[in-house]
Amino acid sequence: MEFQAVLMAAGGGSRMTDLTYNTPKPLLPVGNKPLIWYPLNLLERVGFEEAIVITTKEVQKMMSADPKIKLDVKMKLDVVCIQEDSDMGTADALRHIQQKIKTDVLVVSCDLITDVALHEVVDLFRAHDASLAMLMSKAHEYTETIPGQKGKKKTAEQRDFVGVDHSGKRLLFMANEADLDEGLMIRKSTMRKHPRMHIKTGLVDAHLYCLKKAVVDFLSNNKFISSIRGELVPYLVRKQFSKAMNSQKSKEESDDQSTTDRAPSEELGILSRDDPLRELAQERSCWNDHHGDMGEAYHGGKLRCYVHILEQGLCFRVNTLAAYIEANRLAPKLFDEPAVHPSAVISEKCQMGSDSIIGPLSQVADKTSIKRTTIGSSTSVREKVKVANSIIMHGVTIEEGCNIIGCVICSNAVIGRGADLKYCLVGNGQRIEPEAKRTNEVIVGMDQLMEI
């Protein structure tokens, strides 16, 4: 077994609490499948037969008890639960399962939806015997109106600055805008070895990483690193060109060796360990990963980081309400299944667009119109209802004569007769009174408001 797959599914969805108050983020329905299904399906399609799933006891319990949550995967899942109230980052979670890790690992977030050819990332990792290979994509533009957010200013995402070499694959520099006090500071040791660097913005980390087993071992001995994305990746990228990490040590590099970057315990363990045969092949080969000098391949560096940037295709993380709405528009294109589940009962007098899907055991009555809408399982849509550009979760009842446009209606809600909802988010189990007219509102229970 070359890789072990690790799925991170313990995040609480702090940026979409209106949706995750009653349903954990990994189990939110996207295209009538749990969100966690998409990365599991990605792994299964490329041949993984088992995966370690790091999650909470709440998610594990709901996965086993709720019949609406069907993962439909053949993989063997080793579910590891962590405390729900613990402030555990992704690196902490990886450290938590260190005893289970026997090989290099492929770490994936449960909120990733992508059609990437996974071998593009893995091949970089293999070809260069890298310590890290990761996936990034261009930032996704969300065009749909967000329910309940009219007039609210959109908070600007802080940019990542990503430096790559001439090939666009070697990851040389990474910094977030929030961490830059006085502009971009690039080390002399990096510029000496890579005098031409392309700085890219507008990229999003997909939270998909290939990591050496030695990196996981390194984490177990260095508990100051809590997050893979926020701390481990920048640390590895920065350490590629530090004095202690390279076999060739020169005095001229010592001038920019930061005192804060001194080797913590077991630091040398994260180096790529070239076996004698590989070293001999490199020594006798004329291949090089760079040009412009007579230095050896990788400038003798043993720690190497790479990135695959997806230029075209589907790749985004479902970590905001906007992303969740977009996911329900696009995700069904990733699997070939009928738009209407065989167990659903749809009236012949229902007008349903080809871009809508209806889940199992749902009922749609006469004289209804369903356009660009996802309807979950066990939902009842009565006569003369119009629904457009909306997401209707499981067990919802929409009584006759309702008009629903651009809404997200969470599970077990009841929409009273003749209600008119436009761009609203209706929380789990909420009841909308008959003939109500609501526009751009978030309608949740008092307990949920207190939580927020």
Q: Residue 208 and residue 117: Cα distance in Å, rounded? A: 12
411, 441, 447, 403: which is closest to 425 by C-alpha?
441
Distance between CA atoms of residues 208 and 236, nearest Å: 15
By percentage, how much of the chain surpasses pLDDT 90?
Answer: 58
Q: Which residues contact 70 (CB under 8 A, 6 or more apart)?
A: 34
Neighbours of 231 (CB within 10 A): 15
Which tokens sit at 157? 């995402």
Question: For residue 439, what are its two tokens?
Answer: 């526009």
What is 309-350 written as a DSSP string? Answer: EE-SS-EEE--SHHHHHHHHHHGGGGS---SB-TT-EE-TT-
To the question of pTM greater than 0.85 for the whole model, the response is: yes
pLDDT at residue 151, rounded to an integer: 55
State pLDDT tens for residues 17-71.
888 888 899 999 999 999 999 999 999 999 999 999 999 999 998 888 766 667 7
pLDDT in tens, 380-413: 999 999 999 999 999 999 999 999 999 999 999 9
Q: Using one digit for the tens of pLDDT, what is the confidence trace for 173-191?
A: 998 887 777 778 888 888 8
Mean pLDDT of the 157-164 span: 85
| Separation CA 193–CA 242 (nearest Å) | 11
DSSP assignment of 410-421: -TT-EE-TT-EE
Mean pLDDT of the region 318-343: 89
- Report CA Rg, the chain: 25
- Name, in order, each residue with C-beta under 8 angstroms of 438's C-beta and a sequence gap of 6 or more: 419, 420, 421, 422, 424, 432
**pLDDT score, position 379:** 97
Which residue carries 């749809």 as its tokens?
Answer: 346
CA 325 to chain centre: 15
Strands 76-82 and 50-56: parallel
Nearest Cα neighbor of 119 from 41, 43, 172 is: 43
Lowest mean pLDDT among 151-165, 334-348, 415-429, 432-446: 151-165
Contacts of 86 (CB under 8 A, 6+ apart): none
- Rounded Cα gap, residues 357 and 331, in angstroms: 11
Q: Is the pLDDT of residue 138 over 80?
A: yes
pLDDT for 412 equals: 94
pLDDT at 341 over 90: yes
Residue 259 pLDDT = 38
Q: Is 440 left (phi over 0), alpha (psi -120 to 50) or beta?
A: left
- Using one digit for the tens of pLDDT, what is the confidence trace for 356-379? 999 999 999 999 999 999 999 999
Three-state DSSP at 351 gives strand
d(CA 115, CA 122): 15
Quick check: helix, strand or coil at residue 32?
A: coil
Indicate the average pLDDT of the chain.
85
Residue 121 pLDDT class (50, 70, 90 cuts):
very high
C-alpha 137/C-alpha 41 separation (Å) is 20
Tokens of 94: 């990886």
2/371 Cα distance (integer angstroms)? 46
pLDDT at position 162 is: 94
Distance in angstroms (rounded) separating the CA atoms of residues 190 and 299: 11
376: Cα within 13 Å, side-chain hemisphere: 24
Of the segments 16-30, 196-210, 273-287, which one has the largest average pLDDT value?
A: 196-210
In the predicted structure, residue 226 carries a pLDDT above the cut 70: yes
Q: Are 315 and 116 in contact (CB under 8 A)?
A: yes
Residue 363 CA neighbour count, 13 Å, CB half? 9
The predicted-structure confidence for 236-262, as pLDDT tens digits, reads as follows: 999 988 765 554 444 444 444 443 444
Single-letter residue type at 251: K
Residue in the block written with tokens 């075209």: 312
118 vs 133: CA distance, rounded Å: 11
Beta bridge partners of 398: 381, 415
pLDDT computed for residue 284 by the predictor: 62
Question: What gap in Å lies between CA 447 and CA 428, rounded to an integer?
Answer: 12
CB atoms within 10 A of CB 335: 12
Element (H, E) at 431: strand 431-432
Number of CB atoms found within 10 A of residue 102's CB: 9
